[in-house]
């Protein structure tokens, strides 16, 4: 959907003192979930306006109104880390201007890593080291210290699940809720979903261990890393999928997205668990990442061929765990 120019002007003016005549809008093409715009104010300011999909769009269980957790997260991260993160200028979750949630932020400098066609090895290593250092700072934030509760899961203002007292309980809820989505979109039948549920129960003990409820980004890939021409990280973006839990699930996303290279681990400052139980968890965490693409391909992209490919991959990975 394309929004009327007057509507966009109304949104921006409700949060700034910018003159109408000075504002220019330009669609941001890289976003895959929200409708986003560059908001350019002559040579004086630059903002990003992110508008959520309509309420009847095809959402994963944790995506519905997930933008609502971003303002508090941005403030928390700005207060306690060195991570370059955008300042939130304004937002409206009461739907006063449009029938969608939106957030207006100051634009960060830099270019998405995904849009840089050529980067020499040294610059890429520098980028990944910085990403590792910043993610370590993010992971040092815990729900116990910063949310006032030792709880796990998606704890943000969008409330997609009940807070869990342990990580194994949280991930079990997340696992089953995602399977419900995969069934709802028509990719898994009831028997296939039950196989996945029972598979988790078989390996549940691998997850039942002390875990700090650490803040996880859950969507670090090349598009969400901004860099300058020298490979310096100028911003990490899109924190709306963040959750509180086991850092190993973040590592699995980094594996899937090609970020967890040696340079990343140098910046992160520690190595990962490679025990048998950790390897089992890693496969489940990868499955949690991969299975989401079945509903996404069907509900949002009308791509049954793509969904079938992810189904085959998921079932093959699951059978290897039997």
pLDDT tens by residue, 178-214: 999 999 999 999 999 999 999 999 999 999 999 999 9
Over residues 141-157, mean pLDDT: 96
Over residues 136-152, mean pLDDT: 97
Q: Do 238 and 93 belong together in one domain?
A: no
Structural domain span for residue 149? 111-319
Residue 312 predicted with pLDDT over 80: yes
Q: Do 155 and 273 belong together in one domain?
A: yes
| Domain end call among 55, 88, 106 | 106
Q: Do 130 and 221 belong together in one domain?
A: yes
Measured in degrees and rounded to the nearest 5, phi and psi for residue 290 equal: -75, -40
Q: What is the CATH number of the domain that holds 46?
A: 3.30.200.20
Q: Do 101 and 144 belong together in one domain?
A: no
Q: What is the pLDDT of residue 2?
A: 78
Percent of the chain, pLDDT > 90?
92
| Domain end call among 87, 106, 125 | 106
Q: What is the pLDDT of residue 42?
A: 82
Q: Which residue has the tokens 């699951």?
A: 318
Strand order in the sheet with 102-106: 23-27, 35-41, 45-51, 102-106, 88-92
Over residues 246-274, mean pLDDT: 97
Residue 115 gets which letter from DSSP? G
Considering only CA atoms, give the Rg of the chain. Answer: 20
Q: Say how many CA atoms lie within 13 Å of 253 toward its Cβ.
A: 20
**Which tens digits make up the pLDDT trace of 167-177?**
999 999 999 99
Q: What is the full DSSP assignment across 143-186?
A: HHHHTSS--BB--STT--S--BSSHHHHHHHHHHHHHHHHHHTT
Separation of alpha carbons 44 and 18, rounded Å: 10
Q: What is the CATH number of the domain that holds 218?
A: 3.90.1200.10
Q: Do 198 and 212 belong together in one domain?
A: yes
Q: Do 194 and 304 belong together in one domain?
A: yes
Count of residues making up the chain: 322
Q: Do 125 and 231 belong together in one domain?
A: yes
Q: Do 144 and 253 belong together in one domain?
A: yes
In our burial notation (b when 16+ CB lie closer than 10 A, e otherwise), range 214-246 reads bbbbbbbbbbbbbbeeebebebbbbbbbbbbbb
Over residues 246-263, mean pLDDT: 97
9: which 2 tokens? Answer: 């002007």
Q: What is the pLDDT of residue 1?
A: 65
Residue 273 predicted with pLDDT over 70: yes
What domain count does the chain have? 2
Q: Do 56 and 142 belong together in one domain?
A: no
Question: Which segment of 21-25, 48-52, 162-166 scores lowest on mean pLDDT?
Answer: 21-25
CB 83 within 8 A of CB 137: yes
| Domain end call among 41, 74, 106 | 106
CB 291 within 8 A of CB 184: no
Q: Do 94 and 127 belong together in one domain?
A: no
Q: Do 71 and 215 belong together in one domain?
A: no
Task: Indicate the pLDDT class of residue 291, thresholds 50, 70 and 90.
Answer: very high
- Residue 261: C-alpha distances to residues 47, 257, 269, 271 (Å): 32, 10, 13, 12
Q: Do 164 and 283 belong together in one domain?
A: yes
Residue 141 gets which letter from DSSP? -
């Amino acid at each position: 959907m394309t929004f009327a120019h007057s509507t966009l002007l109304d949104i921006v003016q409700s949060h700034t003192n910018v003159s109408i005549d000075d504002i220019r809008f330009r669609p941001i093409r890289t976003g895959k979930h929200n409708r986003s715009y560059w908001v350019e104010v002559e040579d004086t300011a630059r903002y990003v306006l992110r508008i959520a999909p309509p309420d009847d769009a095809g959402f994963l269980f944790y995506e519905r109104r997930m933008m609502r957790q971003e303002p508090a997260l941005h403030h928390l991260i700005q207060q306690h880390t060195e991570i370059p993160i955008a300042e939130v200028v304004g937002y409206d979750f009461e739907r006063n201007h449009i029938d969608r949630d939106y957030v207006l932020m100051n634009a960060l400098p830099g270019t998405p890593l995904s849009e840089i066609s050529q980067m020499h090895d040294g610059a890429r290593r520098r980028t990944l080291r910085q990403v590792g250092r910043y993610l370590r700072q993010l992971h040092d934030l815990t729900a116990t210290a910063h949310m006032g509760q030792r709880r796990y899961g998606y704890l943000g203002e969008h409330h997609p699940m009940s807070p869990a007292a342990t990580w194994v309980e949280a991930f079990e809820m997340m696992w089953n809720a995602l399977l419900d989505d995969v069934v709802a979109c028509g990719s898994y039948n009831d028997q296939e979903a039950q196989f996945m549920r029972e598979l988790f129960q078989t390996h549940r003990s691998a997850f039942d261990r002390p875990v700090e409820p650490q803040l996880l980004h859950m969507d670090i890939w090349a598009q969400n890393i901004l860099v300058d021409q020298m490979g310096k990280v100028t911003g990490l973006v899109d924190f709306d999928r963040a959750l509180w839990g086991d850092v190993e699930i973040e590592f699995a996303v980094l594996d899937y997205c090609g970020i967890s290279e040696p340079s990343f681990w140098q910046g992160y400052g520690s190595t990962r668990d490679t025990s048998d139980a950790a390897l089992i968890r890693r496969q489940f965490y990868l499955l949690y990442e991969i299975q989401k693409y079945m509903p996404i391909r069907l509900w949002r992209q009308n791509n049954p061929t793509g969904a079938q490919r992810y189904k085959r991959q998921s079932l093959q990975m699951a059978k290897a765990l039997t």
